[in-house]
Amino acid sequence: MQDTNMIRNIAIFGHGNCGKTSLAEAMLYTAGKINRLGKVDEGSSAMDYEDEEIGRNISISSSFHNYSWKKHEVFLIDTPGDDNFLNEALFASHICDSALFTIGAVLGVKGQTVKFANIVKDKNLPTVIAVNKMDRERADFSKTLAEIKKSLPFTPVVLQLPIGAEDNFKGYVDIVTGKAFLFDGTKGTVTESDVPADLADEVALYNESLMESVAETDDDLIEKFLEEGELNEDEVRIGLRNGIVSGALAPVCVCAATLNMGAAPLLDFINTYMPSPVDLPPISATRSESDEVIEIKPSVDEPFAALVFKTMADPYAGRLTLFRVFSGILKGDSFYNSSKKESERFGQLYVLEGKEQKPVESAGPGMIIAVAKLKETTTGDTLCDVGNPVVFEKPVPYRPVISFAVSAQKGAEEKVFSSITKMLDEDLTLMLTRQTQTKQILLSGVGQVHLDVVGSRIKRKFGVELELSVPKIPYMETIRSSARVQGKHKKQSGGRGQYGDCWIEISPLPGKGYEFLDKIVGGVIPQQYRPAVDKGIQEAMEKGVLAGYPLIDVQIALVDGSFHNVDSSEMAFKIAGSLAFKKGAQEAGLVLLEPYMNMEIRVGKDNVGDVMGDLNSRRGKVMGMDSDEKAEIINAQVPQAEIQSYATELTSMTGGLGTFTVEFSHYEDVPAQIAEKIIEKSKES
């Protein structure tokens, strides 16, 4: 474990249903780490072990394991492929050294595939592409390869040419050596064989293409290739590894994970071609005290430094904190959290192996480690040596795009919201807010499935159920003209009566909220009663007049009134102020306002027309368009009421390729015909 050159840290990425978890399972089984080849469909996988994952047959959280293969120690991260859990892949990309990008040979490149490929490429992770499910009906290597070349930001080079497909998939030809290998049962081993005659020409073409691609990554190699027309096997291997480590080349291999075909060659490939921590450029950090940017070298002789990239909530063990060690050796029972400026004590260091935790005595560069029950540390924090405090850049999660109102059964409110708070530590995509106007508490995430899973986890882990419902739209009311009105409250029913009388002038105050002006002259209303008028008006504004929504952007001038020496009181003038306001608002012309949201929608060129037409149907206004090398960018303003399920609908429109962000912009008048329906519904409720 202390020889960093022998460490590999690799994450498996790819779209949903491409077989990432099955491939991880095959690799662990072939390496002898697990003693049976589990299956996702049967719920027996070592990597997908949570109830929600087994029930849905998808990965929901990144899972972690490790194996030894020919003296190399490999840390494996299996990331989810569903859009709802994109942040898991994003955070894994922040702390892994290389990527195993998986594509199904039947489904090929989907919209989600492009998203995950962009995550991998943005980090410039050394990448190997595994074309999986070559044993399935309609598996097509050539078609999948063409889609990779056309749609993904990689420069693919074929390293393994499949022998057969579907039921006849039985091996591959190694393009570097020109040798054929046949799969030998479910142990994942291979035996050398003759290259099928019908593949000889194709092998020669791919070999030529591989040499050319490798040569283009190195000046000396391109010179030799141009002079001699070829490279020898050692030159190809060295050039290929350099091209992979630099991110210039992405070799393509083939496999059928559920049959354990191709796992052993992939394990060999990772050892030979994928980088150890020392093969990569040093990672940058900032000194805590001076903001000086320094390089953190992946050496056991450097001070300890690590980044916390995940927190897992557990009702029994407390929080489980996961971090990646970038430099130094961690031993003992404490470290310094430079982000919080606190020292933390811990009990045992663990390496995660699926749902199991294996104790270890120390941790070095490249290792992924877990500790339990830290008090101060949260996701994104830097852990380091107290004598050398540094801070790593935090991974920034994708912002939530969908919200639901959250509630609980009577008596369970405190436990529900305590459980949600624990989930917020675990999942930085989640957001809990209180909507002032509607008095609802909103739980926000990246999709409905995401929030459904959060609810399921809370029920399983903490034994309480939360209820999610479509949130109310925070409409507002305002006025469009001015009015002068009287509010008079007079009541006599034996004993002391109630008397309050005020005249107010009400007028619009666009964008300024609320303003109260005291223009009383000559003491017609004593000073002690005037704040009560203001208070009564504000309470009436909060309840609304037109449809029960808060009223905003008004100026009130208290201009006249009268009082009674005995019967006047603060309460009487408060009621008078409220009556005056309601009457004045009606006379000043009430209108209903709705929130508009700023949206930035990123789609492919082929989807622009459909998305623009859809925005128009939602009463949206396109404010402008832009583009970058990855997408067309549409900037629009759309009523909040029209986009509550937009995440699902955009996925449907764009085949999973579209993404968007949303934030509040401003309020505008609700069109009359829509306002009538809202007011009517409000009166009914």
Do both 139 and 17 map to the same domain? yes
Can you tell me the distance from the alpha carbon of 380 to that of 394, in angstroms, rounded to the nearest whole number?
A: 5
**Above 60 in pLDDT, residue 1?**
no
62, 88 Cβ separation under 8 angstroms: yes
Say which DSSP state 261 is in.
B
**Above 60 in pLDDT, residue 400?**
yes
Can you tell me the distance from the alpha carbon of 651 to that of 642, in angstroms, rounded to the nearest whole number?
A: 16
Do both 273 and 308 map to the same domain? no
Please provide residue 677's backbone torsions phi and psi, each rounded to the nearest 5 degrees: -65, -40
CA distances from 600 to 276, 443, 613 (A): 39, 21, 15
**Which is nearest to 312 in space by CA: 408, 359, 377?**
377
How confident is the model at residue 162, as a pLDDT? Answer: 97
Give the predicted TM-score (pTM) of the model. Answer: 0.85
**Above 70 in pLDDT, residue 317?**
no
**Above 60 in pLDDT, residue 639?**
yes
Can you tell me the distance from the alpha carbon of 255 to that of 141, in angstroms, rounded to the nearest whole number?
A: 11
How confident is the model at residue 652, as a pLDDT? Answer: 87
pLDDT in tens, 526-559: 999 999 999 999 999 999 999 989 999 999 999 9
Two tokens at 618? 């939602």
Can you tell me the distance from the alpha carbon of 508 to that of 440, in angstroms, rounded to the nearest whole number?
A: 28
**Above 70 in pLDDT, residue 610?**
yes
What contacts 232, CB < 8 A, 6 or more positions away?
none
Give residue 655's pLDDT band: very low, low, confident or very high (50, 70, 90).
confident
Do both 533 and 437 map to the same domain? no
How confident is the model at residue 359, as a pLDDT? Answer: 93
Percent of the chain surpassing pLDDT 90:
69
The amino acid that residue 625 corresponds to is M
**Above 90 in pLDDT, residue 478?**
yes
- Stretch among 169-183, 241-255, 387-401, 584-598 having the lowest mean pLDDT: 387-401
Two tokens at 510? 């666009």
More confident residue, 61 or 581: 581
Residue with tokens 């190809």: 236
Structural domain span for residue 258: 4-279
More confident residue, 683 or 276: 276
Instruction: Please indicate, yes or no, if residue 160 is contained in any of the structural domains.
Output: yes
Two tokens at 630? 């990855």
Q: Max CA-CA distance within the chain?
A: 115
Say whether 306 sits in a helix, a strand or coil. Answer: strand
Residues in the chain: 685
Domain boundary among 588, 623, 647: 588
How confident is the model at residue 111, as a pLDDT? Answer: 80
CATH number, domain at 128? Answer: 3.40.50.300
How confident is the model at residue 230, as a pLDDT? Answer: 85
Distance of CA 163 to the CA centre of its chain: 39
What contacts 460, CB < 8 A, 6 or more positions away?
51, 52
Instruction: Please indicate, yes or no, if residue 400 is contained in any of the structural domains.
Output: no
pLDDT in tens, 167-179: 999 999 999 999 9
Where does 593-656 have alpha helices with state H?
A: 608-617, 646-654
Give residue 66's pLDDT band: very low, low, confident or very high (50, 70, 90).
very high
CATH number, domain at 546? Answer: 3.30.230.10
Number of domains in the chain: 5
Do both 626 and 674 map to the same domain? yes
Do both 507 and 460 map to the same domain? no
DSSP code string of 53-102: HHHHTS--S-EEEEEEETTEEEEEEE---SGGGHHHHHHHHHH-SEEEEE
Average pLDDT, the chain: 91
Domain boundary among 545, 562, 588: 588
Instruction: Please indicate, yes or no, if residue 399 is contained in any of the structural domains.
Output: no
How confident is the model at residue 315, as a pLDDT? Answer: 61
Residue 680 burial (CB count, 10 A): 11
Instruction: Please indicate, yes or no, if residue 397 is contained in any of the structural domains.
Output: no
- What spatial distance separates the first Cα and last Cα of the chain, rounded to whole Å? 66
Give residue 494's pLDDT band: very low, low, confident or very high (50, 70, 90).
low
How confident is the model at residue 529, as a pLDDT? Answer: 95
Question: Exposed/middle/buried for 682, CB within 10 Å: 0-12, 13-18, 19+?
Answer: middle
Can you tell me the distance from the alpha carbon of 79 to that of 60, in angstroms, rounded to the nearest whole number?
A: 8
Do both 573 and 622 map to the same domain? no
Please provide residue 608's backbone torsions phi and psi, each rounded to the nearest 5 degrees: -60, -45
Give residue 43's pLDDT band: very low, low, confident or very high (50, 70, 90).
low
Can you tell me the distance from the alpha carbon of 289 to that of 335, in angstroms, rounded to the nearest whole number?
A: 17
pLDDT in tens, 241-289: 999 999 999 999 999 999 999 999 999 999 999 999 999 999 999 998 8
Do both 38 and 181 map to the same domain? yes
Instruction: Please indicate, yes or no, if residue 398 is contained in any of the structural domains.
Output: no
CATH number, domain at 610? Answer: 3.30.70.240
Can you tell me the distance from the alpha carbon of 277 to that of 404, in angstroms, rounded to the nearest whole number?
A: 42
